[in-house]
Amino acid sequence: MTQFAHGQQGGFTLLELLIAASLATLVITGAVRIIGAASESYRIQQNLSALQENARFGFNAVRREVTQAGYSPEPWNGALTIAAVSPDSVDGANAVSDLLVLNRWSRRNCFENDNPVADAQGRPAWHLRQNAFSVSAAGTLSQDCRYGPDADSLTTQVNRQGLVNDVAALQLLFAEDSDRDGNADHWVRAGHWQDEAGLLAVRMALLLRTPEPIRAPEQAAARVLDADIAVPADGRLYRLFETVASLQGRLP
């Protein structure tokens, strides 16, 4: 059995303890950084998923009305002929948003309830339903809905209903068939078409931002369709989403 000499210690020297402490600190620091990076990456992915879901929800709400816009129960009846895209639609309604206003005849009101007014056959009567979409100054994609027997007798039933928050911009372009050959000839801004009856589709772009800063790279501006939108240096992540919806409601 080995015997320690008189006065010999069996522990670590001060230098060894300092080296061990330094190594432990490096390991812990590295682990913290790895965990922090993983947590930040997870948070970014969660925010990106939320942006995609918000874009999908907003597009579905607008697309539903675009595809039905212009519908008339009697296409041959000039008294029921309406503009699918209302002339109230505005290019650049405010600094970050266009205004899209859509018309259609419907037996259901803005709450999707049957019209309480009956026609001669006892069925819900056809009334004009008008939906408007824009982004508020607070960054919310909102919907207005009015319903009534004609354009001069519309009643607001839904006022600034919020659909999606944290919207930095909404921009629109319209596909116009100028020669009426069934194919779009060019994209135009709201109100810049030659004849509203020649519009075939609506192209929509939403610029969304994360609700909280996530140390995203700064960018001075974002190209949203044909417009440059200023992007503040707020650390948020901005993503652009686009879709196209055809105006099917007035097709025979």
Q: What pLDDT digit, counting tens, does each position of 196-211 carry?
A: 999 999 999 999 999 8
Rounded to whole angstroms, how far apart are CA atoms 123 and 135? Answer: 36
Tell me the pLDDT tens digit for each residue of 26-78: 777 766 676 655 566 667 788 888 899 999 999 999 999 999 999 999 988 88
Query: Which uninterrupted H or E stretch holds 62?
Result: helix 14-68
**Per-residue pLDDT at 130:** 98
For residue 98, pLDDT over 90 is answered with yes
Residue 149 has what pLDDT?
96
Give the pLDDT of residue 58: 96
Dist. CA 89–CA 92, nearest whole Å: 10
> Residue 1: what pLDDT?
45
pTM of the predicted model as reported, rounded to 2 decimal places: 0.83
d(CA 219, CA 16): 50
In the numeric block, the tokens 């060894």 are attached to 16
With a cut of 60, say whether residue 2 has pLDDT above it. no
- Contact call for residues 183 and 190 (beta carbons, < 8 A): no
User: What is the model's pLDDT at position 94?
Assistant: 93
Q: What is the DSSP letter of 21?
A: H
Burial string for 182-219 (b: 16+ CB within 10 Å, else e) reads eebeebbbbeebeebebbbbbbbbbbbbbeeeeebeee
Around 135, how many Cα atoms within 13 Å sit in the side-chain half-sphere? 25
Q: What percent of the chain has pLDDT over 70?
A: 87
Give the pLDDT band of residue 10 (cuts 50, 70, 90). Answer: low
DSSP string, 73-102: S-TT-GGG---SB-TT-BTTSSSSB-BEEE
Could you give the 3-state DSSP secondary structure of residue 13?
coil
What pLDDT is stored for residue 193 in this prediction? 95
pLDDT level of residue 4 (50, 70, 90 thresholds): very low
Distance between CA atoms of 38 and 231, rounded to whole angstroms?
A: 27
43-50: long-range contacts at Cβ-Cβ below 8 A with a sequence spacing of 24 or more? Answer: 43/214, 44/214, 44/237, 47/210, 47/211, 47/212, 47/214, 47/237, 48/237, 48/239, 50/210, 50/211
Q: What is the mean pLDDT of residues 162-187?
A: 95
Nearest to 70 by CA among 207, 216, 174: 174
